[in-house]
Amino acid sequence: MILKNKTILVTGGTGSFGKVFVRRVLKGELGIPKKLIVLSRDEAKQNDMRLSYMKKTVATDEVIYKNFMNVLEFQIGDVRNYSDICAAVKKADIVVNAAALKQVPACEYFASQAVLTNCIGPANIVRAITENDYPVKTVVGVSTDKACKPINVMGMTKALQERIFTSANVRNPKTRFICVRYGNVLASRGSVIPLFHEQIKNGGPVTITVKEMTRFLLSLNQAVDTVFAALKYGKRGETYIPMAPAALVTDIAKALIGDRKIKTKITGIRPGEKISEILVSEEEIHHCIKRGDYYVITPMLPELIQKNIKLGSILKKEYSSGDNILDYKGTLALLKKHSLMISEKRLQEDGEFLK
């Protein structure tokens, strides 16, 4: 039970991934932790999350002032700020870095901001551990398919995060730095499904960039499963990648629209977008292995190369969302499986499904 009696820090812990990660950690799937610290900038989201765990609707002195006495602890702070990171990391056995700027168009317009969060943030975590000799056992960096052969700022900065954490293993032999990389998380904040839901609620049209666009699809629980697998089995410098289904965005839209008389509109590809995403590049297949239900990219740095591992025999080409695409029935079944279909009643509840 790798999390039993451990102190876990999750940066960006009030986001879509963070909320599910926190819930499952507190359930004790990998052992009951001693402390679970959520670090984020948004005090309103922290307060809402705190109240939900206290089963309260109104804040009281009791809720606020017992913060540091509870297993679930909230800290206001920013990964961009080195002192904030030091204050949180020094207590942790395990760090999961989920803080990110992840909207592709926003990162294109505000590239320097993406660098600060997605690159300087991870570098601050490494620096804090290195300079202060904090006894952190494991750091997990949450990455994205857009980091593989990146063409946009978000992907470029996430690719740098992967390299920052991988190389940190060389200078920090006491700490294991690993990464996870996955595609579109179904119904996460800012993803395509909440956008389609909102457009359907308002009568359409549902906007699609290009008809050929495909995306890997993963539920929030599967994203957390990937982090859990990396925590349990990952070795220093490795990147864990789930074997995920892929679908046409047009089929996702069709499934959500159902029999409603709502039109779709082709808007053209946005700045920094790919038609298909890649999770393992042609270059990476030469040092990729299979472990359970995951592809694992092993590190290229000579100091981190593992002996007695057979490389280059798992994938014959890049792992792309344009390969092995679900048909419409498969896409519909996947959305139903993860309870992402919307009923007429829910459409009338003024956005209830967006919560």
Question: What is the set of active-site residues?
Answer: 146
Strand 246-248 and strand 214-218: the pairing is antiparallel
Interacting residues of 89 by C-beta distance below 8 A, sequence separation 6+: 9, 95, 125, 128, 129, 134, 136
The residue among 277, 220, 222 whose CA lies nearest residue 249 is 277
Q: In angstroms, how far is CA 166 from the centroid of its own chain?
A: 17
Give the number of residues written for the chain. 355
Q: Is the peptide bond before 245 cis (omega within 30 degrees of 0)?
A: no
